[in-house]
Structure 1
Amino acid sequence: MRVVGTTTHHEAKVVAEARPFKINELLIVDDPHQGPVRVEVVETGSINPHLPEAERGLGLVDDRTLSTLRALGYDLQKETYHVARVRALSELALPVAVGAVVRRPAFDEVQDLLMPGDPDRGFLLGVIRGTEDLLATLPERFRNVALLFDPGEDVVRLQSGVPFYLPYERMVDYPHIGIFGGSGSGKSFALRVLLEEVMAQGLPALVFDPHYELDFSQPLPGTEPARCTAFQGRFKVFELGRDAGIRFESLSTGELVMLLQAAMREWSDNMRHAVETLHLPGDSVTSFRERLHDLSAALANEREFKNLASAEKEVALPSDAAERVRLRQLTVYRQYAGANLLPSTLAAVVRRLDVLDRMGLFGSNLEQIERRLAEGQTAVVRGPLRPLNVFATYAVRYFYRLRRGYCEAKAGSRARTDDYFPPFFIVIDEAHNLMPKAVENEYAPARSLFREVATEGRKFCVQLVLASQRVALLDETITAQLNTKIILRTIRAQDLDTIERETDITRAEVARLPYLASGNAFVSSAILGRTIPVRIRAAWTRSPLAESPFAEWRRVRATAGEDLWEVIKDMDTIRPGDLLALVNACQARLGRPVRREELERALARWTQEGRLKAKPLKSLAGTLYTRV
């Protein structure tokens, strides 16, 4: 292999005879003036002079390149040659020497480029594409540590290159991760792999799962079950409204304002004033709602209540329930009559409070989640998208303030051991719904909170991991703070423009994004200093929703009524007249409703499987079944 054509201090062209170049593979140019120069293949092609217009078929081949080939002794009339455009991976003072010999490196010659930092303190995310030739010199400890999943054939294959580690300890200086890709790109798979690595390293993570798929209890077929077993006890799934929620009595007025603002659109300063005026520390949902209703009813009949309030005498507690309510309303009116509140404003606050209550957010607390994070575990909170986003806004604010409070107290030498709260990851899928791009009149109450976490979280090591199918819809301020971006297949032009603008991915690599196979990605990271093409490794676990719905339907149909066999297997013969009695016997044994049609379908299936023999009975217009 030789350098040919015109070169610069950062690019050159290389020609080979033996085989084509692989995109993104690493080469070494033995430059006589600068020593070994490490380069990466960024464009490849082949020329065959026997085909018409072959010499002009590729932008890689020009007259200068052809003349260099001839000067080096290549016979373009007899052979096919392979050409690549390469880019230097370090800054050069001189142009790459024309005619210099090019060779493929050994692993130790490029290890610092492929594995910056300590692999034991890194997330093993996959295999670096274009490094297949380095397998021969790869140390044993790095072999077959990252299996690859083939979604087309649904099989797990051995590692085919150098494993890719993301050094997470460098995230102290270069925080936050974004995972972006369209439908079917492997985004959810990449997120699962990242969370497995977070658990393997024993790092705390707070995960919000709107798709009900981030469970790590089932091993991926073809992988080592022990890998899945190792995750048990390192994560806990919480159902929003049942295991996780918000204790209303613990809310500060500011937190309640934030929740009510997130509940519905068209929040106003009048509503904020109403909440700040009427909310009392320790209020329950019932007491706060009751106060809102009482004041609203009194203001609707203000003339009457104004006259009652002007009377100085104390009213005795009446025995009639309606009168007691009226007295309560009068008491609230006397207390807040001068607050300049309107019944319509109070009604709007009540509507928002009712929305939050119907979401099931109130009644539980964050104590169990806090305990899991303090123990270095992953807490996965599941729920419908909208309630989950409202809860996430509150939970992120709560835990972020815990961590920030500890760090600020530590800086002021005021921290106590029992005040410690660990650094943690905040993992949000479909993040563009929670923190959309800022446009006029856009409703996004959580955006300011996440902007603060994105810009200030580095100081406290609170790390965001944001996954989204629509990177263009994500807030630009937050996107700019994501120092590591994992880009999978993306098709929409708007998203491609954002990726090109927000990363160091080249235009040629952006052009490849719509055609990437599922699971292939570009990792653009300030930690690495360059973009690395990666094949995401096979996860050790699988989603509980991984089974094809059609395969699930076939399986359910094939096993429907299988529990009836426990009753049927003891019978030697089954006559048509026995079916009704059998249905009753099955219901009594199994404790569930059984229909005659279900029993008949099960008998027919068992006959096909060879467990029973069937003989039509013309006289009884039915079938006689006998046990084999």
Structure 2
Amino acid sequence: MQVVGITTQHEIYVVSKEHKFRINEILLIEDDSLGNPMGEVVETFSYNRFIPMGYDKGIVDAQVLKTLEQLGYDIGADEINLSKVRLFEEAIQPIQTGATVRTPEFAEVQHFLVKVQPQEGLVLGEIRSTDHLVETLPSNLKQLMKIQEQEVERDQNGVPFIFDIKAMQQYPHIGVFGGSGSGKSFGLRVMLEEIMKQSIPAIVFDPHFEMNFSHFSDGMNGIDYRTKYVSVQIGRDVGVDFSSLTTRDIERLLGAAGSLTESMVNVIQSVHKRKDSYQSFSDRIANLVDALELGKQKVEAFIYDGNGLSREQLEQYDTYQKLLNQFGSLPLSSVKGIQWRLNRLYQSGLFQHNIRAIEEGLNSGKLVVIQGSVWLLQVFSSFVIGVLYTKRRTYRDAKLQNEQGTFFPPFVIVTDEAHNFAPKGYDAPAKSVLKEIAQEGRKYGVFLIFATQRPTLLDETITAQLNSKFVFRTVRGTDIQTIKEETDLTHEEGKRLPYLRSGDVFVSSAIFGRTLAIRIRLADTTSPHVLNPFDELKEMSHQEDEGVLEVIQSLLPLSETALIRHTDEINQTLGKSWDVAQLKRELEQLAEKGKLKKVKNPFATIYDRP
């Protein structure tokens, strides 16, 4: 392999007769005066005499051809392999044309590829086109994972990609971008498995109910994640302690249940009292609605007349009068709007629990998966993130001032569909606290991992703070443009984004100082949604068929004239409500599938074993 053509301090062309270059392959240029610089193949080109096309295509130009001829290549007969190589570090002068190029040994490129040992980082996958380094790879970097390609599982055959999570102290926050089917959710699962291995506290907002780590895949490496995570559901296991909310907290929560007008905000600020329980606040709102509907004159008339009213009724009207004296100027429509939003949150179970289970999980070094609908997660996240971040910040501030504080661990916040939690262009309940964490969280040991299919819709302040970005296949032009603006992906890598295979990803990280192409490892666990829906449909149909066959086995052979006698018995066993005609249709379908034999005689149709 040799350098050909015009070279610069950044890029060179390399030619070979035998070696077929691969994208992202690492090459070493033997130039002692420049310290044997190294680079990465960013574009490849091969041609021979059997391909009758001009030599002015792609990266080949007249200058390169002239150099090839001077080096002894027969352009008309030889197969020529060319590659464009981008240097890792800028050279102080152009590379010498004709310099020898070779593939390096692992020790020569270790500082570019491996920043931390496996036991101290997240082993996320295999760096692409590094199989030529396997022979010189140390034993502690071998056999760390399984890789799946083209539906075939294989052993690790390259340098492992190990993310140095401790470096997030300097380069905080991770973005995971990719379209549907790109492997984004799979990559996020692998990342969470590695976080659990390191016993790093984390909370995951899971709108798809897929972050379950109790189903083990065939490639499981012996770790039981069931003891390393806890799954909670909003309204069933966790919720909001209403009495701990400030007036501003209630504004954010009710605003997430439905947008608030200025008049509604005024109602909350006027009616809410410090340390209100849900019951006391909702009762005050409900009584105020009743009082405003009756009107001040009717309430006073009931009180002054008082005939036929019980003591409880008089007390109720007295309460109405006090509320009207205090809040009578508030619009009835606005108070009703607050009542509707409050009831909606209560019906979801939000105010029936607290966040103790989440705090205990984080203090135990576990991954806490919080599940719920998207809108409910938006509401709940604004509260729980604010509380947990305040606890961590209070502890760190106290420690810096040499004061005694209650320890609360550093933690990671993870969410899929991140553009719903911190959207660009408009407010969301958790957006303000997430922006604060994006800008200042690293000082307190609180970090973000944001996954989204639409990085263009994510708040720009947060996107700019994501120092490590994992970019899976992306097709939409606006998203590709956003990614190129926010990363160091080259023009060539940007063109490859729509064509990446599922599970392939570009990692643009300030920790590595350049973009790496990696293949995500095979996960140790599987998603509960892994079953193809069409296979699920077929499986359910098969189960129903088997259930019917099991019930009618003792009745075979079964004549259609006897169906009326057995319909009730079959319905009772199967829990169905079929009539005779529907039962006959079921038997006809089983006969069509070959699970029953259908015999016709002059008197009736008979169904029997095949």
Give the TM-score taking structure 2 as reference length.
Answer: 0.91
Report the counterpart of residue 324 of structure 1 in structure 2: 315
The alpha-carbon distance between structure 1 residues 355 and 334, as it changes in their structure 2 partners (threshold 3 A), is same
Distance 1:381 1:581 in 2: 52
Q: 1:618 aligns with which of 585, 601, 604?
A: 601
Matches within 5 A, 1:50-199: 51-58=51-58, 60-150=59-149, 154-199=151-196
The alpha-carbon distance between structure 1 residues 596 and 22, as it changes in their structure 2 partners (threshold 3 A), is farther
SS class of match (1:541): coil
The alpha-carbon distance between structure 1 residues 350 and 615, as it changes in their structure 2 partners (threshold 3 A), is closer
Q: 2:287 aligns with which of 294, 303, 308?
A: 294
The Cα offsets for residues 551-603 of structure 1, whole Å up to 9 and x where unpaired, read as 11111112214345655566786565665665555566667767767876887
The alpha-carbon distance between structure 1 residues 578 and 379, as it changes in their structure 2 partners (threshold 3 A), is farther
1:510 Cα offset (Å): 0.9
Q: 1:403 aligns with which of 385, 392, 395?
A: 392
The alpha-carbon distance between structure 1 residues 308 and 376, as it changes in their structure 2 partners (threshold 3 A), is farther
The alpha-carbon distance between structure 1 residues 170 and 572, as it changes in their structure 2 partners (threshold 3 A), is same
Q: 1:252 aligns with which of 246, 251, 254?
A: 246
The answer to whether the Cα contact below 8 Å between 2:545 and 2:590 also exists between their aligned partners in 1 is: no
The alpha-carbon distance between structure 1 residues 219 and 608, as it changes in their structure 2 partners (threshold 3 A), is farther
Report the counterpart of residue 484 of structure 1 in structure 2: 468
Letter in 2 for 1:523: V
Q: 1:219 aligns with which of 210, 216, 221?
A: 216
Report the counterpart of residue 34 of structure 1 in structure 2: 34
Distance 2:373 2:110 in 1: 45
Distance 2:221 2:507 in 1: 29
Matched, 1:507 2:491: yes
Matched, 1:535 2:519: yes
SS class of match (1:347): helix
Give the TM-score taking structure 1 as reference length.
Answer: 0.88
Letter in 2 for 1:450: L
Report the counterpart of residue 232 of structure 1 in structure 2: 226
1:443 Cα offset (Å): 3.9
The answer to whether the Cα contact below 8 Å between 1:560 and 1:602 also exists between their aligned partners in 2 is: no
Distance 2:250 2:571 in 1: 52
1:170 Cα offset (Å): 0.8
The alpha-carbon distance between structure 1 residues 493 and 606, as it changes in their structure 2 partners (threshold 3 A), is closer
Aligned residues: 609
1:173 Cα offset (Å): 1.3
SS class of match (2:269): helix
Distance 2:172 2:439 in 1: 9
Report the counterpart of residue 362 of structure 1 in structure 2: 351
SS class of match (1:211): coil
1:116 Cα offset (Å): 0.9
The alpha-carbon distance between structure 1 residues 230 and 595, as it changes in their structure 2 partners (threshold 3 A), is farther
Matched, 1:349 2:338: yes
Letter in 2 for 1:272: V
The answer to whether the Cα contact below 8 Å between 1:210 and 1:383 also exists between their aligned partners in 2 is: yes
1:459 Cα offset (Å): 0.9
1:49 Cα offset (Å): 5.5
The answer to whether the Cα contact below 8 Å between 1:5 and 1:13 also exists between their aligned partners in 2 is: yes
Matched, 1:429 2:416: yes
The Cα offsets for residues 405-449 of structure 1, whole Å up to 9 and x where unpaired, read as 221222222234xx22211111111111221113xxx34343212
The alpha-carbon distance between structure 1 residues 624 and 504, as it changes in their structure 2 partners (threshold 3 A), is closer
The alpha-carbon distance between structure 1 residues 154 and 75, as it changes in their structure 2 partners (threshold 3 A), is closer
- RMSD over aligned CA atoms reads 3.1
Distance 1:97 1:360 in 2: 71
The alpha-carbon distance between structure 1 residues 569 and 344, as it changes in their structure 2 partners (threshold 3 A), is closer
Letter in 2 for 1:616: V
Distance 2:206 2:133 in 1: 38
Distance 1:137 1:423 in 2: 38
Unmatched segments (≥5 aa) in structure 2? none
The alpha-carbon distance between structure 1 residues 474 and 157, as it changes in their structure 2 partners (threshold 3 A), is same
Distance 1:305 1:295 in 2: 14
Report the counterpart of residue 553 of structure 1 in structure 2: 537
Report the counterpart of residue 362 of structure 2 in structure 1: 373
The alpha-carbon distance between structure 1 residues 137 and 332, as it changes in their structure 2 partners (threshold 3 A), is same
1:206 Cα offset (Å): 0.9
Report the counterpart of residue 271 of structure 1 in structure 2: 264
The alpha-carbon distance between structure 1 residues 607 and 271, as it changes in their structure 2 partners (threshold 3 A), is closer
Report the counterpart of residue 412 of structure 1 in structure 2: 401
* Amino-acid identity (%): 39
SS class of match (2:508): strand
1:143 Cα offset (Å): 3.1
Letter in 1 for 2:504: N
The alpha-carbon distance between structure 1 residues 303 and 20, as it changes in their structure 2 partners (threshold 3 A), is same
Distance 1:497 1:610 in 2: 56
The alpha-carbon distance between structure 1 residues 289 and 600, as it changes in their structure 2 partners (threshold 3 A), is same
1:257 Cα offset (Å): 2.0
Distance 1:328 1:515 in 2: 68
The Cα offsets for residues 452-472 of structure 1, whole Å up to 9 and x where unpaired, read as 011111111111111111101
SS class of match (2:67): helix
The alpha-carbon distance between structure 1 residues 583 and 261, as it changes in their structure 2 partners (threshold 3 A), is same
The alpha-carbon distance between structure 1 residues 607 and 345, as it changes in their structure 2 partners (threshold 3 A), is closer
Distance 1:600 1:186 in 2: 46
Distance 2:595 2:75 in 1: 73
The answer to whether the Cα contact below 8 Å between 2:255 and 2:429 also exists between their aligned partners in 1 is: yes
Letter in 1 for 2:131: E
SS class of match (1:265): coil
The alpha-carbon distance between structure 1 residues 489 and 293, as it changes in their structure 2 partners (threshold 3 A), is same
Distance 1:547 1:12 in 2: 48
1:255 Cα offset (Å): 1.7
Report the counterpart of residue 45 of structure 1 in structure 2: 45
Distance 1:559 1:301 in 2: 60
The answer to whether the Cα contact below 8 Å between 2:299 and 2:317 also exists between their aligned partners in 1 is: no
Distance 1:299 1:574 in 2: 71
Letter in 2 for 1:622: T
The answer to whether the Cα contact below 8 Å between 1:575 and 1:624 also exists between their aligned partners in 2 is: yes
SS class of match (1:325): helix
Matched, 1:23 2:4: no
SS class of match (1:352): helix
Distance 2:191 2:363 in 1: 20
The Cα offsets for residues 468-498 of structure 1, whole Å up to 9 and x where unpaired, read as 1110111000000101100111111211111
Distance 1:506 1:446 in 2: 34
The answer to whether the Cα contact below 8 Å between 1:176 and 1:464 also exists between their aligned partners in 2 is: yes
Matches within 5 A, 1:458-473: 458-473=442-457
